Amino acid sequence: MNLIKSLLAGAALAVGLAGAATAGEKTKVGFIYIGPTGDFGWTYQHDQGRKAIEAAFGDKVETKFVEGVPESADSERVMTQMALSGTDIIFATSFNYMDHVLNVAKKFPNVKFEHATGYKRADNVSTYSARFYEGRTVIGHIAGKMTKTNTIGYIASYPIPEVVRGINASYLAAKAVNPDVKMKIVWVYTWFDPGKEADAANALIEQGADVIMQHTDSPAAMTIAEEKGIMAFGQASNMSQFGPNAQMTAIIDNWGPYYVERVKAVMDGTWSSTDTWNGIGKGMVGIAPFSDKIPADVQASAGAIRDALAAGTMHSFTGPINKQDGSVWLKDGEVADDGTLAGMNFYVEGIEAELPK
């Protein structure tokens, strides 16, 4: 269904852009989204970033977006439509758009592309991502301190490095303060399916989890956590309205400043292909206010971790850390390099499940 929807949307967009092309020298900015802008998670936050561009440049820009674009050849069609209709810069905001972005970018060397969370670049393709794992370290710490059943439930989407990194970071932080902690991981193989996300949350609660973390896009798990009276962490966006009691804090994706900066670069003609990976320090990852359900001492220690990560005096992956098979990954005091983090495809020692291939 998404296919037809996005094709129609693409067509409508082409008509809209073609009509506007004569209107003046506006910088045209296009976005393709994996989910709906109303998901109150991942896509919602990207759309907030789009609105930040409009707020910053007003009449000088024109932004367009197509939502619910599948990570398939459909995304190439949508991006091609955008490029054909005079879009100056296109933000593709999901990991598996990667190869499609490069394909389209090859055909339109004058159009700038920005691909979120990917690692393949070209002269006109930049990549950008946020160090969400820093946020995971903070919530892992809180979860480790707060869990009564010593079981953290984790709803994972796809086994890609970004998700694996998040699991490892939160597990390490929880383990550091609670040696008995266990992590139960359920892969749902979707970014957005509220029904399935809710089912996964229920299954994890059934297995004894009293804290739920998620790497999916909807607030369904937060709603279930609220209903069942357990703890959860907002993902991508502040989800406290869905779980006023359940949400301990949230990892907030703050794309606005980066988007404004990149569009500015296009306007000034200074845009070049870059790789950006910012964390709490640069404000790309935000931590929502702590719930008052968290005891004061835990709030203080979690806050200290957040600040140390921001200041760069602490790193989420600092040795000694072994891989799941027991082999040494980082020696004592050694800090993970970005290359390994970007391609992380292994669990750290202590996680019992097997990583899907």
In the bound complex, what is the minimum distance in angstroms from residue 76's beta carbon to another protein? 21
Cα 163 off chain centre by:
9
Instruction: Report if residue 185 touches another protein, rule: CB under 8 A.
Output: yes
Q: Which of 143, 129, 131, 137 is nearest to 233 (CA)?
A: 143
CA distance 341 to 322: 14
Instruction: Name the segment binding another protein (CB under 8 A); options: 34-42, 83-91, 298-306, 342-350.
Output: 34-42
Site string for another protein, 105-144 (x = CB under 8 A): ----------------------------------------
Q: How far is the CB of 198 from another protein (least distance, A)?
A: 5
Q: Which of residues 264-323 bind another protein (CB under 8 A)?
A: none
Pairing mode of beta strands 231-236, 211-214 = parallel
* Sole window of 21-29, 57-65, 212-220, 324-332 interacting with another protein (rule: CB under 8 A): 212-220
Two tokens at 72?
């398939």
Closest CA to 50 of 100, 5, 98, 89: 89
Binding test (CB under 8 A) with another protein, winner from 104, 188, 213, 321: 188
Task: Give the residue, chosen from 16, 38, 289, 320, that forms a contact with another protein under the rule CB under 8 A.
Answer: 38
Q: Is 7 in the site for another protein (CB under 8 A)?
A: no
Rounded Cα gap, residues 306 and 321, in angstroms: 20
> Does residue 16 belong to the site contacting another protein (CB under 8 A)?
no
Shortest Å distance, C-beta 61 to another protein: 23
User: Are 36 and 70 spatial neighbours (Cβ–Cβ below 8 Å)?
Assistant: no
Give the per-residue contact string, 49-88, with another protein (x = CB under 8 A; - = no): -------------------x--------------------
List the one residue from 16, 241, 312, 328 that touches another protein (CB under 8 A): 241
Tokens of 13: 């967009």
Cβ-contact 287, 310 below 8 angstroms: no
Does 356 bind another protein (CB under 8 A)? Our answer is yes
- Interface with another protein, residue 37, by CB under 8 A: yes
Distance CA 325, CA 232 (A): 29
Exposed/middle/buried for 296, CB within 10 Å: 0-12, 13-18, 19+? exposed
Gap between the Cα atoms of 102 and 84, Å rounded: 16
Determine if 334 is a binding residue for another protein (CB under 8 A): no
Q: Does 11 bind another protein (CB under 8 A)?
A: no
Interaction between residue 102 and another protein (CB under 8 A): no
Which stretch in 75-83, 116-124, 199-207, 277-285 sits in contact with another protein by CB under 8 A?
Answer: 199-207
Q: What's the CA gap between 201 and 65, in Å, rounded? A: 31
Near another protein by CB under 8 A, which window of 90-98, 132-140, 161-169, 205-213? 205-213
**Phi-psi label, residue 36: left if phi above 0, alpha if psi -120 to 50, beta otherwise:** beta
Neighbour tally for 1: CB within 10 Å: 7
189 binds another protein (CB under 8 A): yes
Q: Which is nearer to another protein, 180 or 352 (by Cβ)?
A: 352
Would you say 227 or 334 has its CB closer to another protein? Answer: 227
Structure tokens at 233: 């962490």
In angstroms, what is the minimal distance from the CB of 39 to another protein? Answer: 6
Note whether 325 binds another protein by CB under 8 A: no
Residue 213 contacts residue 232 (beta carbons within 8 Å): yes
Asked whether 33 and 6 are in contact (CB, 8 A), the reply is no
**Got the DSSP string for 185-227?**
EEE-S-S--HHHHHHHHHHHHHTT-SEEEE-SSSTHHHHHHHH
Q: Where along the sequence are the contacts to another protein (CB under 8 A)?
A: 1, 4-5, 8, 35-40, 68, 153, 159, 184-190, 192-196, 198-200, 202-204, 206-209, 218-220, 223-224, 226-227, 241-242, 352-354, 356-357
